Structure formats: C-alpha cells, structure tokens
Chain A
Amino acid sequence: MERRLFIKGLGAITLITALPFTDALALDGYHHVDPVRDGRPKKKHNYAMVIVQNRCIGCKACELSCKKTWNLSEKPENYRTKVMYIGKAQSFNYRRSWMPVLCNQCDNPPCVSVCPTSASYKREEDGIILVDPKKCIGCKTCMAGCPYDARYYDERIHSVDKCTFCQPRLEKGLEPACVENCLMGARVFGDLNDPESDVSKLLRKAMSYHVLKPEEGTKCNVFYTTRT
C-alpha cells in the first residue's frame, strides 16, 4: 500500500514538474508562434512557411522556379532558396535527407539591425524582410550577420538580394513560386494570424516542429517538421 502511494506520488510530482515544459515539447505547436506569448510583434499578417521535410524528394523544382520567377543570375551561389542535401551518414531515414532553406523572415532579424542605410527593412504589416537596392551600399554586413546564409550580393542590381516570400506575388493573391511548384507539397505557406490557414493547421497538427538555430533568438517564420 505504501509502495503504491509512493509510486502515485512520484507520478503526480513528475506530471506537475513537467507541466511548464509541455509548451517547449511542442505538444501544442501553435503556441510557439503566438505573437503574444513569445514576444513577437503584432502584424496584420504573420506570413510563415512550414517545410515538411519528409515530403521533400530533392527535385529542386522550388530552386528552379525561384530562379526563373525572379530572373536570378545563373551563378550557382546566387540563390534565394536552396535544397540542401544532408548526407546519408547523418541520417538513416532517406526521407529526411533533404533540407530546403530560404530566408526565415525573422521577427528579430540580425540582418536589419546591422544595415547602415536601412536598405534592409522589415515590413510592419506582414513581417517580410526586403532589401531596397537603391540604398544598399554592398558592405555585405547583412550577409556576414545572417545566421542562415540567406543573402547574396547581386552584381547586376548592385545590391544584396534575398527571398521575399514572393511578396509581389502575394499582393496578387498568389502563393510563393517555390510553394506553387513544389511537387510533393513539402512547402506550405500561409498566415499564422488566420487559425484556418494551412500553416496554422499544419503546426497545430504536427507532432513536433522546430526552427533553425533557435539559440540565435531570431524568431524565425520558417518552421520545419517531419511528423505531420
């Protein structure tokens, strides 16, 4: 009897102790991107992308469509998005071997704070980070300061260039080109402020998800999941 009581007590203590960490364990994923709860700025739209890694087959249609849509240079290192290969030695799961990367449209963007001319800026209405080529002096501090290697210098426009979540397409009611052209639905885009958007639903449904380099405190708006 005493032993049973002890085990019950231990279980209760474990549960109580674990309660504060349930959010960190991403049991309720949406709370991680709640603009109030994690100190994100309030925006009219909170555009975000969810990468479902186990759906990505590495076809690179997203890379190509991005280059084509925005007429990017042929130079291999001049890309806005890239599908990176994670070597098999690091993973036994084939479906987790590809990792699409792009600008994380951070809510605490280091690239914006280091730009001396305010050429890099974050739109208040939707959080998208843009570069004004007219103001960019090409000091490349934003490139060095980005923890995600999301930027490159485009000699043709004499400015740093980066992913904009296809902002001009969004204004026409279209999805980003990489999302539209993803054969496997590995890239999902939407507004986190809308609980019925695909990204909100996906994050709610996901068993777990993560952002890249959370230790940087950048508050990314690109999320990665493999368990949907």
Chain B
Amino acid sequence: MSEFIMNNKNIPTIPFILLGFILCAVGGAAVVMTLVNGHEAMYGVTRDVPWGLLISTYAYFVIISTGIAFIGGLAHAFGFEKYALISKRIVVLAVVILLAGFTQILMEVGSPLKMIYMMISPNFKAPIFWMGLFYGIELVILAFELFLVFRKKSSHWIAALTGFLALFVGVLATSNLGYVFGSLSAKAWYHGIYFSVFLVVSGVTAGAGVLVLVHYIVYKGRVPAGISDSLTSLGKLMGGGIGVMSFLYLWKMISSISTSPGDAQVAAQALISGAMSINFWAGEILLAVVIPLLLIMTAKGRVGNIALAGFVFLIGLFFTRYDFVIAGQLPLVKEGFIGSVQLASYKPSMAEWLIYLFGFGVFFLLYFSAEKFLNLETEHH
C-alpha cells in the first residue's frame, strides 16, 4: 500500500522551538549549578527517598519512547499500514523523547562518567545493567531506523526487521525498567512483576497519545483525510490501553491494601488518603483515566477530541510515574525493626524542577527543529 500525503510546510514550529530554547536555557542553568555545587546541595532526595523527580521523569520519557517505537514496529513488521503512514514522525519522536529521557538519568546518577564501569566490570545479575544495555541498543536501532526512513530507497525487509527489533528491544528495556523496581524486595510497593507489565502497556498508550497530539499540532487541527484514520485508530489504541492500565492498577491497589500490615499497604494508603492523595485522585485518576476515556468515547472520529485526550492523558501519566516512584519509598525500611510507622517525605527542589523542564526543553527544541528543517511527511511506504 502506498499513499502520498501532501507535504505540510505550514507547521507552527517557531513558538515550540522558542519554548524549547527557553526551557533548555533555564534548565541548563540548573544543570550547570548542579554540576558545580553537587547533588547534595541542589536536590531534595535523601537517604530515605534516594529516587526522586528525575528518576520519575526519566521513566516517563523513555517509556513513552519505547511505546512509540512499539507502534512503529506494528507498522513495519506486522503490517499495520495505518501507522506506516506516519512512520517518519514515529521514528523521530521515539529518538528525541529517548534523548530527553537520557538527560534526566544523566543528571540523576551521582557520577555518570563512571558508567563506563558498566562495560568494564558489569554485574549481569543487576537489572539496572540490563536496563542500560537495552536502552542503549534501542537508541542504536532507532538511529538506524531514522537513517532508513530518510533514505530515498530502502528495502522493505530491512525496514521490517529494524521495526521489529525496535519493538522487541523496547519492550525488553521497559519491562526491565519495571524490574529495576520490581526486584527490590525491600520495597514492597515495587516488588513483583506488576510494573514490568504496567510500564509496557502505559508506554504504548502514551505513545499513541503523543502521536495523535503531535500530528494535530503540526496540522494545526486540519489533519488530512489520509492520516486522520491512522490517528483515529491510535485513539482506539489509547482508549484500550487506558482500560488495561486501569484494570492492572485496580488489582495492584486491591492486592496492596489487602496485604495487611505491610509497606505496600502503607504506600497504597498514602496514595488513596494520605500525603499523595491529591496527586492520585486529581492526577492519576481524573487526568490519566476519567477525562481521556470520556473524550475518546465521545470523540466519534473527531481527531481534536482524541488529541485533547492524549494531551490530558500525558499530563496525568506523569503523576502516575511520579507517584509510583515516590510512594514506594515512603514507608521507612527502618520502621520495620523499631516498631513504629512513620512515612518519609520528599519534595522536589527547585533545581530538580528546572532539570525536569530541561528534559522537556530538549524535546521541544529537537523535535520541532526536525519539523522545521526536515521533511517529516511520510511520502511512500
């Protein structure tokens, strides 16, 4: 199948590039200050809560990236032609969002230069080693896919294989990221296979949301009929994904609350009725589930509604990521042996918020520069 889609030269890129510049400048200042003053002086993470906003943002970005790559894999390797019509933007978005995620992890770890030791003296038992390896390979695969989609002529067979590898390695990377948390038996909220599954599903769901939203923006609301069907199909994928996520989350909550007494229960209570309840009800439930589902169900093929659903869902999903990372650390491990129940507290510092914005700045700057200077319309497949 092949379909020519009119080249869209009238893309509103400049405001987004400017926004990207501003966020990169402000966030970049925080990056420099953190490199000079050190994490201890600049970050709000503590001995009790060693993983904070930046780990959450890292997970947010890289899981969306692999979700987008998953959709690209469906297009190239499994013949979902509707998605193939937007394959250039799929690959560019996956690469840019992955890079945005890498900015966060580089600023989160204490000594990123020492990551060379992951190659010199790797610990094959450590899930975080595999996570790093898989995301590294994913970047290489996506870079090759990028090369392929911009080539005038490329073998369909190679494109299919590359798409499949991006999907496969992306799922491995994301499920392994879930296992970085899931392997920690000291943290009952994280422990188990739940997050390995949940993160993959939420990544594909978010990937669909990003693709619809970005296309709606670049076409300024007037999406050509050729790709309107693709976006409507992505809307259905997003709706289904939110449904599966809600189902998984419901059982996670039920199993955590009924695990009494235990740290998983304490974490769940902190979300439902404790310190993080506003995040949970307003962010995770309203923005990530209720509003997007309502918008998708009432869309009736209107891409605008689906794009809005994607936008709201992407905001809500950030709360889901943040809450999951933080809630798991709130029950203090030492409380287990001194016999009292106190919760840790964590509040991101200003520097952490600015570096968080830096990640978004990198995304806006790189992606809309690509829109500005490259032709991201998929002309044939």
Closest chain A CB from B172 CB (angstroms): 16
Of the listed stretches B65-73, B112-120, B221-229, B245-253, chain A binds B112-120
**Within A111-155, which residues are at the interface with B (CB < 8 Å)?**
113-119, 134-141, 143-149, 151-153, 155
Cβ-based interface call for A93 (8 A): no
Cβ-based interface call for B122 (8 A): yes
A116 touching B126, Cβ below 8 Å: yes
B110 touching A84, Cβ below 8 Å: no
Of the listed stretches B16-24, B198-206, B329-337, B365-373, chain A binds B329-337
**Within B117-133, which residues are at the interface with A (CB < 8 Å)?**
117-118, 120-123, 125-129, 132
A149 to B114, CA, bound (A): 24
Number of A-B contacts (CB under 8 A): 139
A113 to B40, CA, bound (A): 26
A118 to B119, CA, bound (A): 11
A134 CB contacts on chain B under 8 angstroms:
114, 117
Cβ-based interface call for A101 (8 A): yes
Of the listed stretches B96-104, B184-192, B355-363, chain A binds B184-192
A115 CB contacts on chain B under 8 angstroms:
123, 126
A86 CB contacts on chain B under 8 angstroms:
338-340
A86 to B340, CA, bound (A): 8
Cβ-based interface call for B53 (8 A): no
Cβ-based interface call for B168 (8 A): no
B50 CB contacts on chain A under 8 angstroms:
140, 143-144, 153
A87 to B136, CA, bound (A): 49
Q: Interface size bucket, B side?
A: 35 or more
B109 CB contacts on chain A under 8 angstroms:
137-140
Nearest residue (CB) in A for B50 is: A140
Known A84-B338, A135-B117, A158-B111: A144·B125 in contact at CB below 8 Å? no
**Within B305-345, which residues are at the interface with A (CB < 8 Å)?**
329, 332-334, 336-340
A153 touching B110, Cβ below 8 Å: yes
A212 CB contacts on chain B under 8 angstroms:
336-337
Known A118-B123, A145-B184, A155-B39: A136·B114 in contact at CB below 8 Å? yes
B45 CB contacts on chain A under 8 angstroms:
140
A155 CB contacts on chain B under 8 angstroms:
38-40, 110
Closest chain A CB from B1 CB (angstroms): 44
**Within B34-65, which residues are at the interface with A (CB < 8 Å)?**
38-40, 45-48, 50-51
User: Which 7 pairs between the two chains have the least Cβ-Cβ distance?
Assistant: A138-B110, A117-B117, A140-B50, A147-B186, A116-B129, A155-B40, A77-B47
B residues lining the A interface (CB < 8 Å): 38-40, 45-48, 50-51, 108-112, 114-115, 117-118, 120-123, 125-129, 132, 180, 183-187, 329, 332-334, 336-340
Would you give 22 A-B contacts (Cβ < 8 Å), ordered by A? A75-B40, A77-B48, A84-B334, A86-B339, A90-B340, A110-B184, A113-B123, A113-B126, A114-B127, A116-B118, A116-B126, A138-B111, A139-B108, A140-B50, A141-B184, A145-B186, A145-B187, A147-B186, A147-B336, A148-B333, A153-B50, A216-B186
Q: A141-B128, A149-B48 are in contact. List 9 more A-B contacts (CB 8 A).
A: A110-B186, A114-B128, A137-B111, A139-B108, A141-B126, A149-B47, A153-B50, A155-B39, A155-B110
